[in-house]
Structure 1
Amino acid sequence: MEKEYTLHKYLNGAATAEEIEQLQADPEYASFLKIAETTTSFDTPSFDEKASFKAISEKINQKPKVKKLNPWATVLKIAAVFAVIVGGYLYFNSLGTTVSTSVAEKEHFNLPDGSEVALNANSTIEYHKKKWNDNRTLNLNGEAYFKVSKGNTFTVHTKNGDITVLGTQFNVFTRDSNLKVVCYEGLVSVAYNDTLVRLPAGTSLQIKEGTVITEDRTTAASPSWLANESNFENAILATVLDELKRQYDIEVDAPKAILNKRFSGSFTHNDLDLALELISAPLNLTYTIEKDHVTLYAAQNK
């Protein structure tokens, strides 16, 4: 223990000459002295606290190195993304074709088999163009008139029921919970709520919330809207005004008290003032127009 203490003093530069001689005389401790003497010749690096702190800060704040990528790898990645986009487009394009009309707009077009379609304002049709000849089925939301070429079964699917024909002319109106089908030529089958109704030419069927409300006959050769006119028979005013808004792209305000008035008549799609006159006069109403906003009043309350 005494020599270990003396060695400790030597390493700290506190040993006397006599104590050093005692250590050198002991072979075990003499080797420690040689190691100590050798290491004293090594240069110990100086430590500058401020400089070290600055270096560490710069290291932390420096921007990460940008790894250079293989240019061909980048090209391949871009090509892969492009392939996915194009493939997705082709896939969805093959699924269906959509034809839509905006408010105050109508569209006439032919289906792949030559069947003619007239699409009323604010309506949409979806069908499979490539599969059409094998499956003549389309989805309708809104109103459309069909002149169907003869062939296999032709089906119009709506959320309120399905209309099936072989070759005929008919009109379908489907909005909200209302469905109205008019057959102008041939025979039409209407399926709803596990019920099937067959409509021969000159007959119509109107369904609201799954219940038949009217079954009428018609002498018209085609729907009036094809001639830019909307026709109504004992319809509530609210229904008439909804159609007016679709054909003219306007806002209409009216007191609730008059919205349940019954209207039989028609209005044109080409002249807003005339259309409002045709609606207002039979119901003893008046109106004002400010830009795209129409307000209706009971005549005595204006």
Structure 2
Amino acid sequence: MSADARSYLSKVLDIMEKNALLRHQVDWAEVRRQAFSRARAAQKPSDTYDAIRFALRTVGHGHSSFYDPEQVPNIEKAPPDSSFQGPEGRSLRDRVGYVSLPAVQGSDATYVRYVRQGREAVAKADHPGACGWVVDLRHNHGGNMWPMLAVAGPILGDGKVGMFVDPDGRTYPWTIQNGSPRQDGKAHDWGASTPVADSHAPVAVLTDGATASAGEAVAVAFRARPQTRFFGEDTFGAPTGNDDHRLPDGAVLVLTEVKDADRTGRSYDAPISPDVEIPTIGLRTGAADHVLQAARSWLLKQAACR
């Protein structure tokens, strides 16, 4: 094994040992032994990639990733216009507002577009003043949670809505101020959002088995919110936070480092169950949306919508 390859692999394993969510549960001497054994013939950093991916399978909590330099541009570029799917909103009967929050990942321009379209969708769904809300997180497989929270912020209401929790118990709060999210007190660049008619209105959140990662973070932000109920199926089971580590050769290590926790401090690292379980598997395209129907029926029984 060359000195360059050894130094590279050692650096990546150091990052994992210092930051991984599972860092206190891993036998690091054994992980290093096996990683270096797998890369024993490595002559350049790229020869260690298989060993790095092996180590991630052990310490990455199932949510971490490794991208080689050729893959990195594909995860950072904006999607073409033809494939961009932003939030959609509409007003259902009896003044129930509906907004869908799909996954989003890409460039800063992608996030700006998502937030702009999402805020327009919320405004459309709030006309002439929603008495309750359906927030649809089904099929939201994740990406970046902050543009999603920038859209959902006025519905969530101002204040603390959740937090990250690291293995040592340190917390990093998520808050909403003037309808916009703040990460550990730091504002994002999307500006204040237009308020909805009633930020305390009841909310029905829809989830399924494809609600994952950042989609689950948004679900967690709604957990323990007053007058909020969940409908559908268990989420995927990756309600954890990742951080990106760019390596000297341009590769990127995406490492799971924190759990998501709701506003009460309850943390999550497994599938999140709904309050009302309604299986959706097997429904044919165009069939009645029983999950949405159940959510709307519950909303119409709440005082604000009666």
Give TM class, smaller chain.
under 0.3
TM-score, with structure 2 as normaliser: 0.22
More strand by share: 1
TM-score, with structure 1 as normaliser: 0.22
CA radius of gyration, larger in: 1
